[in-house]
């Protein structure tokens, strides 16, 4: 899979194929007119091809590996991959959590962070930002 490219960007027919599957899964004709969002298309594409799913997950695995490396010398390192309606997907690795029980750590350092439309994009962005890309 090309670096920092999603399945959506690599296959120009992906939207058409996924839209037909989306409409069919909702009981409509394939050309009914509903268009799924990009995250749904990515999820469908990953589920449709096992190798594509494995390739798309490489960014997540890579970021988790970076967190594991950090844990080897910092037992308090914190990893988060989350979705919010306001920011979309975001991935973080910090040197310690913001809240550690009753303790608040306002001086924590962000080691890697990224945002994207999919979990894979957020992790790719975090990796790229840490590498100065």
30-69 residue pLDDT tens: 677 666 666 666 666 666 666 655 555 688 889 999 999 9
Q: Is 75 helix (H, G, I), strand (E, B) or coil?
A: coil
Contact 90, 115 (CB under 8 A): yes
93 to 32, 51, 87, 108: CA distances (angstroms): 42, 27, 17, 10
Residue 2 lies in a domain: no
Residues 77 and 126 in one domain: yes
Task: Give me the percent of the chain exceeding a pLDDT of 90.
Answer: 22
pLDDT of residue 55: 55
Candidates 117, 1, 126; CA nearest to 58 is 1
pLDDT band at 113 (very low <50, low <70, confident <90, very high): very high
**Which carries the bigger pLDDT value, residue 11 or residue 98?**
98
Residues 67 and 121 in one domain: yes
62 to 16, 36, 52, 55, 100: CA distances (angstroms): 30, 28, 16, 11, 26
Res 1 pLDDT > 50: no
Residues 51 and 75 in one domain: no
pTM of the shown model: 0.56
Residue 37 lies in a domain: yes
Hey, what are 6's tokens? 């999603």
Please tell me what DSSP assigns to residue 29. Answer: -
């Amino acid at each position: 899979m090309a670096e920092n490219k999603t399945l959506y960007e690599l296959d120009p027919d992906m939207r058409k194929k996924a839209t037909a599957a989306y409409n069919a899964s909702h009981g409509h004709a394939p050309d009914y007119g509903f268009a799924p969002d990009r995250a749904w298309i990515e999820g469908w594409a990953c589920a449709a091809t096992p190798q594509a799913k494995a390739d798309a997950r490489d960014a997540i695995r890579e970021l988790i590996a970076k967190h594991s490396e950090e844990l080897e010398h910092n037992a308090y390192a914190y990893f988060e991959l989350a979705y919010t309606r306001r920011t979309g997907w975001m991935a973080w690795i910090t040197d310690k959590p913001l809240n550690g029980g009753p303790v608040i750590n306002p001086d924590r350092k962000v080691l890697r962070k990224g945002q994207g439309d999919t979990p894979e994009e957020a992790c790719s962005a975090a990796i790229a930002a840490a590498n100065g890309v």
